[in-house]
Amino acid sequence: MTSSRLSERLSSQRRRGDGGRRWVRVVMAVLATIGVIDTGSITLSKWGWLGNLSCSSQGFLGCNGCDKVLASAWGSLLGQPLALFGLLGYGALLLMAVVPLVLQGETRISLGQRSWWGLFLLSTGMTVFSAVLLGVMAFGIRDCCPFCILSAALSTALFVLSLVGGDWEDRGQLVFSGVITALLVGVIGLGWAASVGRPAVESGPGVAPVVRSDSSAAQIALAEHLTAGGAKLYTAYWCPHCHEQKELFGRQATEKLDVIECAPDGRGSQKQLCDAKKIEGYPTWEINGQLDSGVKPLAKLAELSGYKGPQP
């Protein structure tokens, strides 16, 4: 009786192919490919191998574009663009979805069943981490990027499809594994986001947070053009929006800017100059003798200053 049931089960698995639904694998492969293109484009752009991404999206979910998000301290990890790790994740999902479709025989059945666990656990982790990143954009950066929102939607869709496509016999083990993975990724992700959200400062009072993002050649060129043209950036060391403006330029480019400290207790304070210019808010730009307050996209600064070089 037991032997008969085992034979029936093996025969059923052979008919199904890999213990799951083939059409789900195909859909997951398509979505993972879109994810590879999405995160790959961001990675290549950050490496300077691809031109600047056109992601101006004012009016889309309240986003102002991607510059502020991608240039923030949360835009990199271990010295590499954060999108690179998303690219690796989508690449792994793509392989696990496609490879069992092209294999034959017992290898296909065995690998196919294991791959469903890989698809489920990896997509679970990516979905949870995407949720952390959405929280960072909403509460830390206070802006959003359509590319990042697309990635979060893709990872969530892949997670749902992994649940639908797999032939889950032990649902208790499925739930337990999913919860453990989600908790582990959530704790690590929140810890990372919180640590990045506290920029390091030099010793001593009145010092602005350190700029963590790296600058591209175009960002440095714009900063040099602004300074050469007499542009000044009036800031206060305690001002979070001033730090946001500097992060848009990156560390190397910020060092090229003419930054005026207006806080009376700030290091190198030039409060008298700020008072003479009647600076009322931070940050404030002075370009061609005109004052303009608020965080400015780099493209806007290029336009105001007449910059014609490589666009940052």
Look at residue 54 and tell me whether its pLDDT is greater than 60: no
Q: For residue 153, give every residue at least 6 positions away whose Cβ sits within 8 Å of its Cβ, in sequence order, or none.
A: none
- Taking the domains of the chain in order of start, what are their residue ranges? 12-196, 217-305
Which residue would you say has higher pLDDT here, 94 or 169? 94
Q: What is the CATH number of domain 12-196?
A: 1.20.1440.130
Query: What integer best gives the mean pLDDT of the chain?
Result: 85
Q: For residue 222, give every residue at least 6 positions away whose Cβ sits within 8 Å of its Cβ, in sequence order, or none.
A: 249, 253, 298, 301, 302, 305, 307, 309, 312
Q: Which of 98, 163, 90 is nearest to 129 (CA)?
A: 90
CA distance 40 to 62: 24
Q: Could you read off the pLDDT of 142-194 as tens digits, one per residue?
A: 778 888 899 999 999 999 999 999 888 888 999 999 999 999 999 999 999 98
CATH architecture of 217-305: 3-Layer(aba) Sandwich (3.40)
Sign of CA dihedral 92, 114, 30, 184: negative
CA distance 88 to 275: 51
Q: For residue 93, give every residue at least 6 positions away whose Cβ sits within 8 Å of its Cβ, in sequence order, or none.
A: 28, 32, 35, 119, 122, 123, 126, 158
Alpha carbon distances (Å) from 132 to 42, 135, 138, 209, 312: 19, 5, 10, 23, 28
Q: Which of 161, 143, 120 is nearest to 71 (CA)?
A: 143
What is residue 18's predicted lDDT score, i.e. its pLDDT?
Answer: 54
> 0.85 exceeded by the pTM?
no
